[in-house]
Chain A
Amino acid sequence: MQLAIQFTRPLALIRRVLPLAGLGLLVLAVSFGCRSAAYVDPEGPRTIVTLDDINIQDWNQAADVMIDSLLTSAALEDVPEQPSVMAISRIVNNTSLQVDTNMLTGKIRRDLNQSGKVLTTTTIGLGGRVDDPLAESEREYREFMEDRPSEQRRPDFTLSGRIMEDQVRAGRTRQATYIFQLALTEVRSGLAVWEDEVQITKQGTRPAVGW
């Protein structure tokens, strides 16, 4: 008799719990499994986090920290003519990833331009490669027609840098660190007047969406 009671109680419990568990699973499946594509704020905290890539939020955060650091340093102030002019030099990609370094420098350029502290040139580039070839050819045309050199401002500063990575694993847990290094060089002296580094470390076993 006792045995019968012991078996019937768990069975009753299971019968009661099973529908609830099923309902819970259904809710989970609806909210996660059947999630359709939706727009998310690229600067918000609900973007996808992966270990094998530099995600959009990593670029954004690295650029944001660098801009704050550069503006706080007042390195851009020390020029005879304000605002100073900056050209983008080489950003070396030392990671195993194929990345467009403009993801970093583009944001920095835009924010620095908007700050009014610095102007970036689009007609002077490393190895003669310019961002705006039309502006450059137009300047050359004007110089030829007017027979005098244009008043093109030369850069006071150049921005160079390096992106590196460090990957480690312990058991199933992986850790990826992406290191962003930037330096601002004063052209006249050739000295680095500002340098900073941002490290972004991600750890996990599988990709995640940030919630």
Chain B
Amino acid sequence: MSGGSAEVTRAQVEDFLYLEAALLDEWRMDEWLQLLTEDARYEVPPNDVPGGSASDTLFTIADDISRIRARVKRLYNDRAHAEYPHSRTRRMISNVRITGRDGDTLSVSANFICHRFRRNERIRQYVGATNYTLVVGDSGIKIARRVVVIDAHELGSLGSVSFIL
């Protein structure tokens, strides 16, 4: 894919996002980290300001790459109590659109439903859209930025976002 973003098809982007979803659902987060650039960001905006900026708005999650790695390290620890035992999740990714191309960069939007299951708890359904900035390089597609926007007006009964959404 060395020809930059112009040659990348939606099907290729979909395959990539399905792979990401599978790695996260299967708790293969070390492999998921390999999909990220060295300066990647992962953000979940607050439900009441979904279009806000993390520099002046209190987000639910606003991780740079070092905190993404720290988050993964924490989640693999069985003393990350909110995710021990691990949640089972199942993500459905759809409505994938390439919304912009600029040099080696792609803007992509995808809808998601993430079902979260924990024993003896009600099922939680996180529904929304993820806005990606993807970078196309010699080693394929990488994620430079993923902003996960939850549609619910407040987290409410979804409770925490203790796993990687």
On whether the two chains bind one another, the answer is: no
